[in-house]
Structure 1
Amino acid sequence: MADLNTRTARLAARWLFTALLVGLVVWSVDGSALWQELGRISPFVLLPAFALTVLQVALSAWRWRYTVERLGLSLPLSAAIREYYLATFLNQVLPGGVLGDVNRAWRHGREAGERLSAMHGVAIERLSGQLVLALAVVVSVSWLFQAGQFAPRAIENGLWVVTGIAFLAFTAWAALRTGLSGGLLKGLADYLRLLRRDLFQSLLRWPVLPVQIGSSLLVLASYLGVFLCLAWGAGYLNSLEAAAVIVALGSILLLSMVIPLTLAGWGIREGAAAVVWPMVGLPAEQGVALSVGYGALVLVSSLPGMVFIVVGKLRLA
């Protein structure tokens, strides 16, 4: 009972922190201008945007199925789509943004009888997408700088962030070198050997790697397509260059959602939008409006996962 109360308190605290962060972002911009930008998004673009989210889940589920099959596990595509919807919904409502993926790895491992391989399958499938997203962000930022779109301000803050990450990585490496016993190091070495094998089998070897990159590019295109639909509905896409800028900035927002501090990236994504939109000469309210619209649309599109939960409980009853 105490553990349940503790988990409930932590979830409530994460919800509160997320709400405070979103409130802080809204407070930092012009509220009336933000509502005007939100009102500009036409409801007629919601249908193609929702269609893209369906394609997105189907492609992601296929990528997951392809990954675990390289590890010797079976996973029907229909089951993969169902589990992916369930994981997406849980990622939307539970802290960290990964508990849904942990759940689908556990459920698949229970069905397949290979928990470690199932866990690696989910982790590698997500890694495939994150690597392509990181590459897209590098290309996007490079293009924005080369095209003269990005102002040079905030580079100093970025250097502080990079320095902080490097310091944490060095601290973790030093702790592993000095604080672990020989037995634990041996167990870690054995696990890393298994992980390296699974990485090679399901991601790095030929011809798996191009398939992973291609499928991840399609998934990323579906994410960015949702941003483009919302921007089109708001009248922001008046030129090809404007569309390219929205794609570049949208990839940065997607990467910011990887930070597991809030629920489904809320607050962090909007904060990133409020920072990067003015850096290309666009109003912060435009970026925050697109970010809020994107978050709301993804939340609604994940509701089939809640339906699977209800149906599963009814079957148990």
Structure 2
Amino acid sequence: MNLLRSTGVRVAFKWVFTALVIAAVLLVVDIEKLFVEIIRIPPSAVVVGLALGVIQVFLSAWRWRFTADLLGLPIPYTPAVREYYLATFANQVLPGGVLGDVNRALRHGADNNNRLTAAHGVAIERLSGQVVLAFVVAIGLAWLLFTGRIRGSNPAGFGSLEPLCWLLAGIGVSGGLLWVLARKRVRVRGYFGALRGDLARAFFSWPAFPIQVVTSLLVVASYLAVFLVLAVGMGYLVDLPSVAVVAALCSLLLLSMVVPMTVSGWGVREGAAAILWPLAGLPAEQGVALSVAYGALIFFSSLPGLLFLFSSPVRQC
């Protein structure tokens, strides 16, 4: 009972925190301008964005299947897509953004009584994506800084790069604290020790490494493509430099969603957009509008997961 109460408190806290962050963002942007930006999105951009959301799931499910096969837990592709849709939907509606993946690992391991390896398969598949995303963010941020696309002064009144530094530092500190807390738990230390061997097989071996990297690059590209399609529809992209700027900024939005403090990144993503766009000399409302539209599209593209809420756990090949 105490465990259920504690879990309920954490869930409620993240929902409240999400609402508070979104409210804070709305206080610092022009809501009327924000609404105007959002309604500029044409139906064609919405359709293409939803199609890209489907591609994301199919690519990610293939990456998971490839990883699981290397760990000796083969899974047919169709059930892998089904389970990934279910996990994606759960991640969209439950706080933290990882509970759907936890459930995916449990369901995969239920048939073979090997939940540890199934958990490793999910963890490595997600880690592959996060490592590649970090690489893409590093390149984008370096380009923004070295080309002067991020300026020291801007229309929003930020006087320096301090807000961006605080954003990135916050992400780094959050990750570091999670790592330290994990190291202090004996059971979790044992888990990471066992994970190293599976990482060597499913990520760092040949040809697993290039396949993981290429697949994850395609997944990250599909995320950014959703942003770019929306930006085209809203009239933000007028030349190649503007495409590069928006892509680099949006990669930072994707990184901000890694922080597991809200529901599916809502609030944190919009707050990051409200900071980053003015730093690039662009209206904050543009960034927030893109962020809101992206979140809505990804949510609607995950709705097929509802069809599999009561499906049986996945069976091995």
Calculate the TM-score normalised by the size of structure 1: 0.88
Partner of 1:25: 25
Does the aligned pair in 1 maintain the 2:68–2:74 contact within 8 Å?
yes
Deviations for 1:36-55, whole angstroms, at most 9, x for unmatched residues? 11121112211111111111
Partner of 1:315: none
Does the aligned pair in 2 maintain the 1:41–1:233 contact within 8 Å?
yes
Does the aligned pair in 2 maintain the 1:133–1:255 contact within 8 Å?
yes
Partner of 1:253: 253
- Distance across 1 between alignment mates of 2:127 and 2:175: 21
Does the aligned pair in 1 maintain the 2:94–2:263 contact within 8 Å?
yes
- Distance across 2 between alignment mates of 1:80 and 1:171: 29
Does the aligned pair in 2 maintain the 1:74–1:112 contact within 8 Å?
no
Does the aligned pair in 2 maintain the 1:71–1:202 contact within 8 Å?
yes
- Distance across 2 between alignment mates of 1:273 and 1:70: 38
Bigger CA radius of gyration: 1
Deviation at 1:32, TM superposition (A): 1.1
- Distance across 2 between alignment mates of 1:85 and 1:21: 27
Deviation at 1:23, TM superposition (A): 1.3
Letter in 1 for 2:151: A
Partner of 1:134: 134
Alignment CA distance shift 1:172-1:269 (3 Å): closer
Letter in 2 for 1:228: L
Partner of 1:97: 97
Between stretches 73-82 and 162-171, larger displacement belongs to 162-171
Letter in 2 for 1:140: G
Letter in 2 for 1:16: V
Letter in 2 for 1:24: A
- Distance across 2 between alignment mates of 1:257 and 1:121: 22
Cα RMSD of the aligned pairs, angstroms, is 2.6
Partner of 2:283: 283
Does the aligned pair in 1 maintain the 2:174–2:259 contact within 8 Å?
no
Does the aligned pair in 2 maintain the 1:67–1:124 contact within 8 Å?
yes
Partner of 2:156: none
Does the aligned pair in 2 maintain the 1:273–1:284 contact within 8 Å?
yes
User: Which residues in structure 2 correspond to 1:33-112 (within 5 Å)?
Assistant: 33-112=33-112
Deviations for 1:192-233, whole angstroms, at most 9, x for unmatched residues? 442111001000111110000000000011100100111011
Alignment CA distance shift 1:157-1:31 (3 Å): closer
Alignment CA distance shift 1:154-1:309 (3 Å): farther
Does the aligned pair in 2 maintain the 1:105–1:122 contact within 8 Å?
yes
Letter in 2 for 1:268: V
Deviation at 1:154, TM superposition (A): 4.6
- Distance across 2 between alignment mates of 1:248 and 1:172: 27
Alignment CA distance shift 1:196-1:5 (3 Å): closer
Alignment CA distance shift 1:146-1:266 (3 Å): same
1:270 is the counterpart of 2:262: no
Deviation at 1:16, TM superposition (A): 2.1
Deviation at 1:254, TM superposition (A): 0.3
- Distance across 2 between alignment mates of 1:212 and 1:266: 28
Deviation at 1:74, TM superposition (A): 1.0
Letter in 2 for 1:65: R
Deviation at 1:29, TM superposition (A): 0.6
Show structure 2 runs of 5+ residues with no match. Answer: 153-158, 313-317
Other structure's SS at 2:203 match: helix
Letter in 1 for 2:63: R
Letter in 1 for 2:215: S
Alignment CA distance shift 1:133-1:168 (3 Å): closer
- Distance across 2 between alignment mates of 1:175 and 1:63: 26
Alignment CA distance shift 1:222-1:4 (3 Å): same
Aligned residues: 305
* Runs of 4+ off more than 3 Å: 1-10, 152-176, 187-193
Between stretches 223-232 and 34-43, larger displacement belongs to 34-43
- Distance across 1 between alignment mates of 2:160 and 2:180: 29
Deviation at 1:17, TM superposition (A): 1.8
- Distance across 2 between alignment mates of 1:240 and 1:159: 27
Show structure 1 runs of 5+ residues with no match. Answer: 313-317
- Distance across 1 between alignment mates of 2:173 and 2:311: 46
Alignment CA distance shift 1:297-1:76 (3 Å): same
- Distance across 2 between alignment mates of 1:309 and 1:164: 32
Deviations for 1:103-134, whole angstroms, at most 9, x for unmatched residues? 00010011232111100000000000000000
Deviations for 1:247-282, whole angstroms, at most 9, x for unmatched residues? 111100000000000000000000000000011111
Partner of 2:119: 119
Letter in 2 for 1:68: A
Other structure's SS at 2:111 match: helix
Partner of 2:198: 198
